[in-house]
Amino acid sequence: MPSHPSVVVDHISFSWADGTPVLTDLSCTVPVGRTGLIGDNGTGKTTLLRLVAGELTPSSGMVRVTGDIALLPQDVATRPGSTVSDLLGISAIRRALRAIEAGSVDPYDYQTIGDDWDIEPRAVAQLAAIGLPGDESILDRPVAGLSGGEATLAGLAGVRLAGAGVTLLDEPTNNLDADSRARLHDQLDQWPGSVLVVSHDRELLEHVDTIIELDPTVPGGVRNFTGTLSGYQEVRRAEQQTADQKLREADAEVRRIKRQAAADQQHRAQRDRAGRRDAATSGMGKGAEHFFANRAEKNAAATGRARGEQAAEAAAARDLADAAARRPDRIRIGLPATRLAPDRQVLALSVAERTLRLDGPERIRIEGPNGVGKSTLIRIALGAADPQLTDRAAALFAEPVTSLWAPRVPVGVISQRDDLNAFATPLDAVRDACPASTVNQARAVLATVLVGASMVDRPIGALSGGERFRVALARMLFAEPAPQLLVLDEPTNNLDMSSTDHLVEALADYQGALMIVSHDASLSERLGVDRAWSLSRSDEGTRIEDRPVGRSAML
């Protein structure tokens, strides 16, 4: 494998048209192979991909790429009017093929096709390899008729088909179910050329060779590590332990110097008192007395200056150690009002002759492939009354599924799309959920989820994804009455790893029932899921299995 880098980012800076800076004097190299690009929301990961792809131009610095480039953006599933053929990037070649079949001898058609006379069977084979139907009719299927996961898979097949030297993937697993993620991992393991993938998916990041983290708090704004995410995190933990130890040592040195300065001062006071007694009893003349007093004062001043310099050096060293050891802010919330008794009936579903129940503070994961009916099951479980929902359930499930009783406790929901655009500021959003709260109480609520004083009056539209998520979290957890059933519907699809950590932290003291729809098994395991309602396809329709979930089953 060549040792030279496939991408070199050389002191680039970039700001939006309104002057908002995104990247400042950033330098990094992307080696040949598979590289994971990580970082908190708002640090500029997607912007960096677009700069590498040439879609954006840096305000200063330069990007050098070895080979051609293919980019799979996050919004591949929302591009209007496109077909699978468009996602694959082969529509122009197919039009040229049809023209030549119809008798065209236009040199432009032959030039468009080049060596790709077999593009259609190769495209279908690539789609089949990624888990989509393997027949040519899919090529003309509208993207609007695909699920988000299917559109992402088709886009992935397109960049693989392009065979570019450098492939850029932006959050490719966001809409993928567990089986599709496994196929993506297999594809990534065998990917030719270089891949730079932006992702917060911990499992995917175990399939890369290099980690690059964008972190504006460190010199140069970037950290580099050769290895997978787990290896990088282990190194970061060791660095944190070393930094913590250096901070403890720096604190001890500051305390030692302060104690020594206090001891010096006490010693001088004792010596001055003894000197005055000796002068009074020895008959020493005034001249001699002034001489010894001046000398003592000069010595004390010199000692004081030395101690002051030591204290300043120790304080500076302590500040550096503190900066190095500073940990990310953590969310800690007491939620006593969410407590449920173990025998409290929460909800129940009838599935043919069986009953699916949620009682007390149980935590249930609803799992299954895309399109199998997870969201439909959630709506039925929450007691939604909709004839269209009834018809869909009848067409979807192999057995009749109905609600025996809707939730008997207050419900809170977090999904991929929040409702914050209805509010001007975070303060307005929280006060809407807690009408009886004062402004100061609402500010205190936001502070508990790390939305500080500088953000509470900021326009909702100006918040980062992580900030919006924390505001939505505050609205849900501090609503009146307090939610005793939380429904999390793919809550972390567009969140960075820090925001996912914040969700886990916020729910550490949650004492109610929980239902989570997620393809992320590690998140479910961290949230302490007890059972799974597992949905699977059969010839008769979707079937539902209620099964216990042990820790080993989640790994």
Check residue 555 and give its pLDDT: 34
Per the CB < 8 A criterion, the answer to whether 206 and 216 are in contact is: no
pLDDT over 60 at 280, yes or no: no
The model's pLDDT over 523-540, given as tens digits with 9 standing for 90+, comes to 888 899 989 999 998 989
With a CB cutoff of 8 Å and minimum separation 6, the contacts of 425 are 456, 457, 458, 459, 460
Rounded distance between C-alpha atoms, residue 273 and residue 266, angstroms = 11
In the 8-state DSSP scheme, what is residue 236? H
Q: Could you count the other beta carbons within 10 Å of the beta carbon of residue 439?
A: 11
**Which of 485, 472, 477, 481 lies closest to 422, judged by CA?**
472
- Please give the angle made by the CA atoms of 462, 467 and 469, to the nearest 5 degrees: 120
Per the CB < 8 A criterion, the answer to whether 214 and 37 are in contact is: yes
Rounded distance between C-alpha atoms, residue 470 and residue 539, angstroms = 42
pLDDT over 70 at 72, yes or no: yes
Check residue 79 and give its pLDDT: 61
Check residue 448 and give its pLDDT: 84
Rounded distance between C-alpha atoms, residue 61 and residue 244, angstroms = 36
Check residue 143 and give its pLDDT: 81
pLDDT over 60 at 475, yes or no: yes
Distances (CA, A) of 192 to 165, 197, 207, 208, 553: 8, 14, 14, 13, 33
Rounded distance between C-alpha atoms, residue 400 and residue 510, angstroms = 33
The model's pLDDT over 375-406, given as tens digits with 9 standing for 90+, comes to 889 989 988 878 888 888 889 999 999 988 88
Q: Residue type for 167, please?
A: T
Q: Say whether pTM exceeds 0.75.
A: no
**pLDDT average, residue stretch 247-266:** 77
| Helix or strand run (H / E) with residue 386 | none
pLDDT over 90 at 542, yes or no: yes
In the 8-state DSSP scheme, what is residue 88? H
- Residue 418, SS3 per DSSP: coil
Between residues 71 and 254, the one the model is more confident about: 71
Compute and round to an integer the Cα radius of gyration of the chain.
Answer: 32
Q: Residue type for 222, please?
A: V
**pLDDT average, residue stretch 286-310:** 60
Alpha helices in 102-147, H assignment, sequence order: 107-113, 119-129
- Residue 353, SS3 per DSSP: coil
The model's pLDDT over 43-66, given as tens digits with 9 standing for 90+, comes to 889 899 999 999 999 999 999 998
Rounded distance between C-alpha atoms, residue 427 and residue 225, angstroms = 40
Kindly indicate the confidence band of residue 230, based on its pLDDT and cuts at 50, 70 and 90: very high
Alpha helices in 326-384, H assignment, sequence order: 374-381
Check residue 504 and give its pLDDT: 87
With a CB cutoff of 8 Å and minimum separation 6, the contacts of 542 are 368, 372, 373, 396, 397, 398, 535, 536
pLDDT over 90 at 513, yes or no: yes
Residue 268 phi, psi (nearest 5): -65, -40
Check residue 553 and give its pLDDT: 40
The model's pLDDT over 414-430, given as tens digits with 9 standing for 90+, comes to 876 778 889 999 999 99
**Which of 93, 84, 91 lies closest to 154, judged by CA?**
84
Residue 489 phi, psi (nearest 5): -105, 100
Query: Token pair of 23, please?
Result: 């990247």
Q: What is the dihedral of CA 48, 51, 55, 59, to 10 degrees?
A: 120
| Helix or strand run (H / E) with residue 366 | strand 363-367
